[in-house]
């Protein structure tokens, strides 16, 4: 029981508390920007290796442009995958086995998410055949011409890193803020992010 309590305290998974949602608010804002920054070296490599990234891509054009999909992913991972992490820690024989199993599931989740998004939003033009968002159809390891195994493995690694390392760090940092400063700091972060979004999305 002490191990479970320690894990609960470490990862801060308590959705019924205000403190938890303050962590989520800060995480959404922070990872909407950090996710964009993560894409920059990845897209540079992918463009060099496969030539699949346009030179005028928004990834390169404005590093401060929020990619809110990563913010939503951070919150979703905390709500859904952190409890799964807790389950693995208490039900597997070793941490290594738990991490490996988590990574495999994270890759499958990434693949499913990319595939669903592609089938819904990235259908090729009936005349030109061009894909509006991305074109994985000619890449080896593509799934139904939408998801791409290379992307999914990387996203699975990022999700694993976030849930096992970055999320606990985020919780510790936010929880280290004295309670009297909790709301002011959260409000400053959220308002600053909202202002950034207003100006970036306007342009």
Q: What does pTM read for this prediction?
A: 0.81
Q: Domains in the chain: how many in total?
A: 1
Rounded CA gap, 32 and 66, in Å? 5
pLDDT band for position 12 (50/70/90)?
A: low
pLDDT band for position 200 (50/70/90)?
A: very high
Q: Give the domain range for residue 85.
A: 2-202
Contacts of residue 162, defined as CB under 8 A and 6 or more positions apart, other chains included, come to: 31, 74, 77
Characterise 123 by phi-psi region: left (phi > 0), alpha (psi -120 to 50), beta (else): beta
Supply the angle between the helices 2-11 and 82-91 in degrees, to the nearest 10. Answer: 160
pLDDT of residue 2: 35
Secondary structure tally for the chain: helices H, strands E:
9, 2
């Amino acid at each position: 029981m002490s191990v479970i309590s320690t894990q609960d305290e470490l990862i801060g998974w308590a959705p019924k508390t205000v403190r938890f949602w303050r962590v989520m608010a800060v995480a959404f804002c922070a990872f909407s920007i950090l996710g964009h920054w993560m894409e920059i070296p990845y897209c540079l490599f992918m463009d060099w290796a496969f030539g699949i990234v346009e030179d005028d891509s928004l990834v390169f054009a404005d590093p401060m442009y929020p990619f809110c999909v990563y913010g939503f992913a951070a919150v979703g991972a905390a709500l859904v995958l952190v409890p799964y992490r807790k389950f693995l820690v208490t039900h597997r024989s070793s941490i290594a086995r738990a991490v490996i199993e988590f990574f495999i599931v994270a890759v499958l989740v990434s693949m499913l998410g990319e595939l669903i998004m592609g089938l819904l939003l990235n259908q090729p033009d009936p005349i030109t055949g061009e894909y509006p968002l991305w074109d994985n159809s000619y890449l080896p390891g593509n799934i139904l011409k939408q998801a791409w195994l290379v992307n999914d493995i990387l996203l699975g690694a990022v999700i694993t890193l976030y849930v096992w390392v970055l999320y606990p760090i985020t919780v510790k940092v936010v929880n280290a803020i004295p309670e009297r400063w909790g709301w002011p700091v959260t409000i400053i972060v959220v308002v600053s992010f909202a202002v950034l979004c207003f100006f970036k999305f306007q342009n």
